[in-house]
A = this chain, B = another copy of it.
C-alpha cells in the first residue's frame, strides 16, 4: 500500500534503526537556492532525464527485457554488473521524486521498475549477465561476478523508491532477492550452501538499509556476516577485494578504492546499529589512516590506474591520481555515517572537501559529460588514451558506474547536510534553505562557497526549553566570527563545532562569517609528489590552473611567486559563475641541457634566468575540463 514519506523522517539514505547507537540522526533539509541547488537543477533537468535514453542505447534495459523473455537478441555490455547502472539511476530518480512529483519521471521509473521486476527469476535471483551470458550459473565467481554487488544496488534503489514514493513494487523485488541471498549464504555450520563474500562490497551497507526499511533483523545479521567474512581468504586473500586481513584487524585502507570504501560504509552502519565497539574503532582507525596517508587534496581516493587501487602511504600522484568519481561518492557515504555515529565534525569536513572537489569534478557543468578518473594534473603534451580512464570528459562509459552514482548523490544531497539529537540541530554543510530537526526549524541564506557569510534565522523552536544550534567550523577555516544577538564568538571547540545553547525564539538570528581569504596549502613532506609545490585554495574549494587561461606557453613551466599576494576575482561570465584566485607567477626558462635532463645539483641550483611574468588564474577544480582540452595543474612549484 502506497505510503507518503513522513516529514519527520527525511526520505533520504540512512534512516537509522530504532536501536541505533548514533550520536546524531539525519535532519531534514530543503535546499532552496545557491551553489548546490544549481548543480541539483542540472542533475534534475538534464542528467537524470537523459538516463533512460542512455541506458537504452547502452543496452542495459534491453538486457532486462531479454532476461524477462520479452525481447530477443544478444546481451549488451561488457561487464557482469551492468544492471547496477539501472539501479543507481532508479535510486537517483527516487530521491528526485521525493522532492517533487514529475509525471514524466514517474512514468520512466514505473516502466523501468516493471522491467526489473519482470527480469527477476522465480526464486528471487536477478542478474542479467549470469542469467543470459553464463547460462544461469550462480555464485561460482564471487571474486569477479558482482552478483551481490548488483543485489546491493537493487536494494538501495528499492529502499529509495519506497522511502520516496511509499510504493512497494521495487522493494518487493529487493526483499525477494535478499531473502534468496539469505537462504544461500551463511557461515560454516549454518546449513547454508555457500560460505562466501562478494568481491565488490555494496550488498553489506544495502542490507543494513533494508533492515532499517523493513525492520527485519535477518538483513542486519547477513550484512554483519558478509563484512566479517572479508579477510579470511574466501577470495584468495587478495588485498584488491579486502580479503587480505579482517576489517577489525586492518590498519589502513587498501586494494580497490571503491570496494574498500563501500565496505567501510557498511562497517560504520553496523557499528551504528549494533553498537559494537570493535567495529567502531576499526572504522575510526581506518578513516584516520586513510585521511592522513592516502587522501588527495581534493578528497579524491585511489592512487593507481592499475587495479583502481589505493597506493602505499603518502603515494599520492597527481597526473596518475585515479580518484574515481565513485570512490569520492563512497567516501562521502562512509564519512557521513561516521559523522552520525560519532558526532564528530571532522567527518563532515571531509564530506565538504570531497563534495566540492573530488566528487563534483566528476560531472560537467552542463550535466552531460563525465569523468571517471579525476587527476590533479594533466601535462603539457598529454597523449590521452581515451576510453573510460580518459582525462577528457566523456558522454558515457563502457563501465558506466560513475554517472548514475553522481546522479543519485546529487538527487539525495540534502540528506548529508545536517543532523539532530536530543539537544538540538547540527549544521554540517551550509546551503540556502531550511534545516529541520523535530520542532526545530532554521532557515539559512548564503552565497557559500563564493561568500563566507551564512545568515541563520530560527523559524521553529520549542520555546519552553533551551537547545543547541551547532555550527561546523570548517577545518580549512583559520578565521571566523559568529554573531548571535549581542554576542560574538571566534573560537570553536576542539572537535570543530561551535555550539550555541539558548532558549531560542522564532526570529532569532545567527550570522556566521567564515573568512574566504584565498590561501596557499602545502602537504606533509612525505607526500613526495608535491614536494616544493603549493596549492591554491579558497574556502572549501581547491583551485587549479587550466591551459586555456594561460596562453603563450604550457603549464609545466609555471612557477608561483609566493611573495606576491593572492587576489580574488569573481567572474560571473566564467564557467557558470566562479570566483577565481589571481596569483603572480612566471614561466621558467630551463636552460638547454642537451640530451640528458639530469645534471649536477650545483648546476641545477644555479639561478635560472628570471622567466617571463605570468598572471595566473586559478579556477575552482570542480569546474575544470569544461572548455577546450589542455593541461591542468593543482599543485604549483614555488621555485
Binding site for B on A (CB under 8 A): 239, 252, 254, 287-288, 291-293, 295, 297, 304-307, 311-315, 317-320, 346, 349, 377, 379-383, 385, 389, 475, 478, 519-529, 531-535, 556-557, 562, 588, 590, 593-605, 635, 637
23 contacting pairs across A/B (C-beta < 8 A): A254-B383, A292-B596, A295-B597, A305-B305, A305-B306, A314-B556, A314-B597, A315-B320, A317-B317, A319-B528, A475-B596, A519-B601, A520-B601, A520-B602, A524-B593, A524-B597, A525-B590, A525-B604, A526-B590, A528-B529, A531-B533, A534-B601, A535-B598
Closest to A556 in B: B526
Please measure, in the bound complex, the distance between the C-alpha atom of A557 and the C-alpha atom of B525, giving whole angstroms: 8
Q: A291-B596, A524-B597 are in contact. List 15 more A-B contacts (CB 8 A).
A: A291-B595, A291-B597, A292-B596, A312-B380, A314-B379, A314-B556, A346-B594, A475-B596, A519-B600, A521-B601, A522-B604, A523-B604, A525-B604, A525-B637, A528-B637
Closest chain-B Cβ to A281's Cβ sits at a distance in Å of 15
Q: A521-B599, A531-B531 are in contact. Are A382 and B319 (CB under 8 A)?
A: no
9 closest cross-chain pairs (CB), A and B: A522-B604, A524-B597, A520-B601, A532-B532, A531-B532, A305-B306, A312-B379, A522-B601, A534-B601
A524 and B590 contact, CB distance less than 8 A: yes
Contacts of A535 in B (CB 8 A): 598
A600 and B526 contact, CB distance less than 8 A: no
Contacts of A604 in B (CB 8 A): 522-523, 525
Contacts of A317 in B (CB 8 A): 317, 320
Please measure, in the bound complex, the distance between the C-alpha atom of A531 and the C-alpha atom of B528, giving whole angstroms: 8
Q: How many copies of the shown chain assemble into the complex?
A: 2
A315's partner among B254, B315, B319, B557 (CB-CB below 8 A) is: B319
B292 and A595 contact, CB distance less than 8 A: yes
Closest chain-B Cβ to A436's Cβ sits at a distance in Å of 30
Closest to A296 in B: B598
Please measure, in the bound complex, the distance between the C-alpha atom of A600 and the C-alpha atom of B519, giving whole angstroms: 7
Closest to A287 in B: B595
Closest to A244 in B: B383
Please measure, in the bound complex, the distance between the C-alpha atom of A297 and the C-alpha atom of B597, giving whole angstroms: 9
A311's partner among B319, B389, B525, B598 (CB-CB below 8 A) is: B319
Closest chain-B Cβ to A637's Cβ sits at a distance in Å of 6
B522 and A598 contact, CB distance less than 8 A: yes
B562 and A522 contact, CB distance less than 8 A: no
